[in-house]
Structure 1
Amino acid sequence: MTVPKVSIVRLKRETLVDEMIFEGQVAKADSIPIFTLDGQKIEKIYVHANQEVRAETPLFKLEMSSIDKAITQLESEIQKLDLMIQTSENQEISQKNTQALRIKQALDNYQGIKETDVDQVTKQEAYNAWQLAKSETPIAAVDGKTALIDRATLVADKDKLVQVKSVDGIVNATTEGYVTGIFITEGKITTEEAALMIASKKSDNILVLRTQKTAQEYLKMGQLVTVIGISAQDVENEYDKASVIEASIDTENPEMFKSKLNLGQADFNYGSSAKAIVTKKSVNYPYCLPTRAVHESSQGYYVLVAKTIETMLGEEIIAEKIDVSLVDKTPKFSAIKANKLLDGRDILLEIDQSVEENTKVRIISTNET
């Protein structure tokens, strides 16, 4: 039977650092939507996702015949509104003349009533009729104002199309940044939704993370994080002032957790991967040992120590079980309460086989970690 090989450690003072490392993608905080008028046919798309663009970079081209058709339709609708506005203005003039006559008649009636002729109620009714006549708004005036607003909208739409037509139907970027979304297709008709999204190069860098739900205890709002990634010059860059600005469970998959870290203007290459190192706590303890040296049973925690015994074949080393009380724990180190039974004892670290109490072992090294 092969004797299990072990290394040994002793208790020592150690700082337990509870930290987690996550990986995410560098993005931009602000995205700018690029709109075009609905009902236009897309002839050509010049950009692709994640492409860097400058102001005036061509993004896509509208079909000229589609633009001409839309301009003609708008001109026709504007002419109809012009006729409606003129008709409304004529009606308003007529209604105002009629209203002026009603106001005069109501005022004459009110002023013609003498206190001695009728009671106070009749005089009040005449006064109310006069005030009502003054406050009435001609229906044509309301319709005319609505038509004027509609006309202004159509004129603005037409001016946009005329401007696009003047540059052969090409729509350019309005800012420097990166294409983050393309929502149009060549040969298809545009809608009122944004055609593209461009992440503004001037906005802050952010790190977008998508992790398991268990990460939420580390990635809380305001938590400071150290981010290590690649700069625009392709060299490693570290930023230790990143902070969590968004944190929520993924609504599409409740087992996943979404978060964003603000990197400010720290130099990181857009679209590159970066590591986020979150230090939850850092505490110094007097009695520590590697976590893999601590075992757990139904009765609690224990360690195995080297015990020398005399046998017929001479001295042999076996594993002795000593119960311990756990104070703190990280994946690397565990802290325990003071235990006199461990003073000066060699604690076993398994190497190639599992070890149980009273198992004979062979010590091959002293582990200093």
Structure 2
Amino acid sequence: MSKRDNVILEMKDVKVHFHLDEGILKAVDGVDLQIKRGMTLGIVGESGCGKSVTSQALLRIVPKPGQVEGEIKLQRSGAGSHEAVDLVKLDPRGKEVRDIRGDEIAMIFQEPMKAFSPIHTVGNQIMEAILLHVTQDKKEAYRLAVEILRKVGMSNPEQRLSEYPHQLSGGMRQRAMIAMALSCNPSILIADEPTTALDVTVQAQVLQLINDLKANHDTSVIFITHDLGVIAEMSDEVAVMYLGKVVEYTDVDSLFHHPKHPYTKALLNSIPAIGRENKRLESIEGTVPFPMNLPKGCGFYTRCKMAIDGVCNVADVPLVEVRKDHKVRCLLVETELKEAEVVS
């Protein structure tokens, strides 16, 4: 079996709904994704599209009153080739899912200052993960903590272990967060906007670090961002999300050279490119709708320049395969393909 066919985690019709007094807030509404061993899946979209909530569902850390539905099948390390565990069926506070968090699935959170405890040292927090999943020997845990901080390029790691998060710079906190996520050599690393608020030099170092660790440990990476430049650099496959749904899902080359969904095209047209210096960048008018009590039809209908009244706003749009390994959620793309088939 090739690396590209070796699926380590599969999501089927995953939904994360928040039952509020005003109605049901559908933060994630029927997501299907596959994570392959040693590959990077990029998840891109505007703020409010459900990217981070999808990652929270994987770790079963969705805050109340959120409820996770669907299937999230994880091929556990050391398990038989046909054995998988459904994370949705596990108790979010149970021992089995706690054994998986940090050990087999780890996460680099978007805001290290908020993710770290302000009243515990960095060393205390990194060593806690090592003591839970790797060794119960405190001296060995300390040695491993120093080693992982050195691997992520932290200067004077012994001193950093005794410091509190507020004593570190933004770049150092991000490196410490990466170190904690990688301290147990996870099978899957979720990176949620890992370069946010970092200067360009540190961003490049963090991205290179993630790529090096992926190559050395055959780790699968889920890279969540709104930066298409980073997606082009880091990803093997890309899922474009909008309003809690995947609207386009393909390999990174096809996404940039043959985008199909109007939202994907609009995102690509909104970034600078060589050869378009004298052209005004396009913008996507409006904002992502609030995901509650939504009307039938395509979620992008109100912002789409190609939308057709009576077609795009009549019924919910399915995600269909328009070419091999290229899926799109758009009725107009389906119509174009059918017309092309008739002509040929």
Instruction: Give me the TM-score of the superposition, normalised by structure 1.
Output: 0.21
Q: Which has more radius of gyration?
A: 1
User: By percentage of residues, which structure has more strand?
Assistant: 1
Which is bigger in relative contact order (C-alpha 8 A, separation at least 6)?
1
User: By percentage of residues, which structure has more helix?
Assistant: 2
Instruction: Give me the TM-score of the superposition, normalised by structure 2.
Output: 0.22
